[in-house]
Structure 1
Amino acid sequence: MNTSSVPPHRLNPAGGSPHADNARLLAHGPVAPVVLPGEVEGVAVLGHEALKDFLSRADVAKDARHFAALRDGRIAAGWPLRTFATVRGMTTADGADHRRLRSLVSKAFTARRVELLRPRVEAMTADLLDGLERAAGGGVVDLVRHFALPLPIGVIGELLGIDAEYRDTLHRLSDRLVATDVGPEEVMAANREMVALLSAVAAGRAERPGDDLTSALIAARDEDGDRLSQEELIGTLLLMVVAGHETTLGLIANAVRALCAHRDQLALLTNGEAGWPDAVEETLRWDAPVSLFPFRYPVRDLTVDGAVIPQGTPVLAGYSAAGRDPAVHGPDADRFDVTRPRRPGAARHLSLGYGAHFCLGAPLARMEATIALARLFTRFPDLDVPETRLPYRSSFVGNSVRALPVRL
């Protein structure tokens, strides 16, 4: 595979901080051969400009029928990344199918519709901060469990019309689907349970429609089966649940860690020299909550920045590496600086995607994270992270921690 002069990088299924590996690989070039679990050969596009080019190419597909190893039967049913490739939804659709599926949910994520959610997000944030203080009791409390997780899972749950009783289970299953270190039986069991749960949610909304996105999707399915099949309905709900809270959870947790480790940057925010949206954008660049997102497939042999990627190769988008690419973000790309987005000529990060598949939920994620950080540090200005060695999520796709002990 003519993608790099270095040997293929074997991705660690257990996850961990990606930045040291990213820097080492970027030093050899913006495109790197990788080995995925199950000895599946792939490629990661890591450089900012190379990734921007790759994500905008018309000769790159998302549909798994272009995934050569999968199409040829060389990947087992319990492969931990199979759901990313085969779920039926907008992230695995191309062309007209992608536009059709995206149009069904895009109206829920316009800037105007997201702004209408602001009072509810602010109210949920206030309630969770009360609960965080109670749980701390003057000691150390897990910010993920009591704040960074329940806020986005609560918001996406209300948006989709999913009852609160299901949300803990949905996160547990989502965590298993995003993990890259799980065995075949656990992968297939989590998939079955998730499909069954979302089917029950959809059946409940069909019986009792409401002013929520699930009810709107069901109405589209029932009105015209050509617009949305049952499999696409469940796949869309799955993607919305996973993407709708996992990314924001990671964004909030990563931002809190960064700000507590860089008190000078936190001071710029609390004294008004920088805005909380700046902290959100710098966190997205500096410590992207999605590190290596699967998959895209060249529909013919493709050259990216001088590297040839063979047709049918599974390619991962290296968002965390691109965010610290010194070729674009400068020699201080490793430095966390909340004033960076306002610098003249500062490059925009790619951490929420680029092109036709740009994250639909970006306005909502940004709003949730901005409100969460502003309210959290306004109420608890001395909040600190006493531990330096934190447990990472078991995934090289996601980039965040499982728990974040803080002292308020």
Structure 2
Amino acid sequence: MTVLEYHDAASGPVAADAPRTFLPQQDRDPAPAEQARIRPGASANAKLAVAGAAAAGLSMGLLLTAGIGLIPPGWTLIVSYLWFVLIYSTLVFMREQFSAVRDRFVTVLMVSAGVTVLGTLALVIGFVFTRGQEPLAYWNFFSQDMTGVGPLSGLDQGGILHALVGTLQQIGIALAITLPLGLTTAIYLNEVGGRFAKVVRTVVEAMTALPSVVAGLFIYASVVMVITHQTNGFAAALAITVLMLPIMIRSADVVLRLVPGNLREAGLALGAGQWAVVWHVVLPTVRSGLATAVILATAHGIGETAPVLLTSGFTGVMNFNPFYGPQTPLPLAALELVRSPVPQMVARGFATAAFLLFVVLVLFILARWVGGQEAGKATDAQLRRMAARSRRDLPRIEKNYHDFNYQQEKE
């Protein structure tokens, strides 16, 4: 029986039944045992070092302030924190290299900054709601104005309905002016451009740093003193507009920059004009971002006090006409009530501030939720709506297709 052979360039003739594939993995040494994986996060020693340094820092702070009296008691937290940083850095230096000490030191500073901001916000919210919780329990606080309410009247009389109506009307007028002007300016900066766009962008950036009292003085000098000759809600709305406009333009400008350039190029390549691409491609892509810009500008305008202090006037009665007579918004009502020497009025002022703070927080949370959508990426609800529209359009497309084929066959 003849054994077939084939010729290998490296080793010469090889039998046909010999293995033709060289498997180098079979000749390798067995792999070493897998080492333990490094898990990210703080180790037990690091956590104990932080806890021990915090306890030691607090003890030193209490000793130097409340114990010995070397430092005033009001400095207890600051002194304790400085000792905590010093002791923690020393503990890390005893076990780690200098680079690790530097990293841990910067990490402690960053975490401390975040905790300080959250703590300050919680302290402000807690203080305002604690001082104003009693009037908030009465329904009349939201359904009545201050008509006929004296300084010694009980909390079951009077409310902030007049201030709520004033705020809604003034913010509505400001949005009616700011929304088209702000969005068109942002579109101009991104889609048109040119030399003049640089000037506009510079002016907008400068207006974001404009003090609110300057906006109020400008409207007071140019509108109240020259045109209306009295404080009113419309003048306050114009002052709020001056402050809302740069916020909306900058926020919308940043969002429009996130639109991918290939979307614009695809629309132009399909034969659409520039403004058709802007209206049907660019704006729908960043719809959520533009809504966030509107909400942020609204929240900024609702909380302004200095401009409305000069332009709106103060009254405790209802005024539905923003063009005639004083019209008090919520920030001004809270300010005037808190300045009263009567405890009931002060409580109403803190309740007004708490309600205003709640509204602003809700707007910021809503902006965060709406702005969480990535530009150009549809949500699940939008995908379902697009699928439903496609199913509705399918019979029409099929009918047009059959009509076209029938027409082609006739020809």
- On whether the aligned pair clears a TM of 0.5, the verdict is no
> More helix by proportion, 1 or 2?
2
Select the structure with the greater relative contact order (CA < 8 A; seq sep ≥ 6). 1
Give the TM-score normalised by structure 2.
0.31
Which has more radius of gyration? Answer: 2
> More strand by proportion, 1 or 2?
1
Give the TM-score normalised by structure 1.
0.32
